[in-house]
Every structure is written in structure tokens, then in C-alpha cells.
Amino acid sequence: MIRTQGDVERDLAALLVLDTRLRPIAATAGTVPLRPGSPGLDGLVATVVAQQVSRASATAILGRLARLVDLSDAGALAHASDETLREAGLSAAKMRTLRAVAAAILRGDLALDRVALMPADEAVAALVALPGIGRWTAECHLLFGVGHPDIFPAGDLALRIAVGRGLGLGERPPERVVAQAAAAWRPHRSVAARLFWAYYAALLRRDAAPVAAPPGEA
């Protein structure tokens, strides 16, 4: 698992031995941050909020939401009013998703502590079975929240751009092309993802890595 900055540095060193093409990318990227999340409900909420919005917007929405609702309490989230969730800045679709997640936890259909112990493919399948949870959300929760060492969200736009530029695959290579490239980085794909998010930030002067935890918890 990747839970400390030391874990990132260890896996990054192994990754650069595994694929020497990544060394100039790492030199440009500079420090590759851990970006710790939470394996629990609050971490999954953060990842849902980060769907399809900028990092700055997600941080602002998540900060407001955390002040209004206890994000570690499925009951509090399930019973939060529409007005409260709209006040935080959630869209109707994200409200439905978060309520579906909270309801699944309350019914006993979803146990995030058990998901954290599953093999990656099983964990992704368990999460995407929930309404509104797609592969990107599941993979990012496992990568940052759980600390899984071998996840690469190949559908992430910033990662596609960064891999395309770094490996000469075009401006926005298709997800399948990026996934194929990432296969070469097993079993260190999670640090490879962190590396390419850092590379994107260095190239474009914009941090596009998803928010992984409510403010004050990262």
C-alpha cells in the first residue's frame, strides 16, 4: 500500500528503473506528492465531488459540504436536505450519488472497510455497482483513499494529456492507448499516475489531480 511520502519515493525509484523513459518526465515533474485521502465515506465523498470539475471548484464545494454535514456519517449524509446539499454547491446528480452511497452503507450493502481489502478489480466492481459511481471515481478512491499501489485511471483527461506529451503519443491519446502504456508500469501504476499528474502541473502550471480528502484531512 502507499500511505506515506516514503512509500511514494520508494515506488517512484523502482518505477524509474523499470522504465527509463520516465526519468526526464520525473525531472520535469519535481516532487511527486502523496495526496493522501481517506478509505472511508468521507474519502469517497471527496472523490465524487471531484468528478468533472476543476480542483479549485471541488475544494471549495467540499469545504462547504464538510462544514454543513458530517461526511464520515452515512446517516447524516442520507438525511441532509436538498437545501443543505445545494448550499454546498452539489449538482442534482451528485446529490443522488451521495445519497445512494449513504443508503447502501446504511443497508449493509456497502462496507468500505471491506472494499479497501479487496483486489483492485473486485473493489472497482463493488463501487461501480453504485448509481453514479463510474470507473474513474472508483479508481481514484482506491488510488488516493485506500492507497492501492497499482491503479492507473487511464480515462482521466489530465493523465491522457500528460502521458501523450511525455511519451509522444499525441495531445490527447485515447483511454485504451494510455491504459496500454500504463500496463508497462505494473506493479507501480499508482505512483506512475501521481508522477504524470505532477508532470501535467509542471507543464501547464495547473494542478489537475483530483481532490482526495475534505479540507484539513489531507
Domain of residue 122 covers 41-146
Q: Is residue 217 part of a domain?
A: no
In order along its 218 residues, the chain shows pLDDT tens digits of 999 999 999 999 999 999 999 999 999 999 999 999 999 999 999 999 999 899 999 999 999 999 999 999 999 999 999 999 999 999 999 999 999 999 999 999 999 999 999 999 999 999 999 999 999 999 999 999 999 999 999 999 999 999 999 999 999 999 999 999 999 999 999 999 999 999 999 999 999 999 888 776 65
Q: Are residues 157 and 133 in the same domain?
A: no
Same-domain check for residues 133 and 48: yes
In a domain, 31, yes or no: yes
State the pLDDT at residue 212.
85
**Peptide bond before residue 187 is cis, with ω within 30 degrees of 0:** yes
In a domain, residue 212? The reply is no
Query: CATH number of the domain that 22 lies in?
Result: 1.10.1670.40
**Number of structural domains found in the chain:** 2
Structural domain contains residue 75: yes
- Cα separation, 151 vs 35, in Å, equals 14
Q: What is the pTM of this model?
A: 0.94
Let me know whether 195 and 178 are in one domain: yes
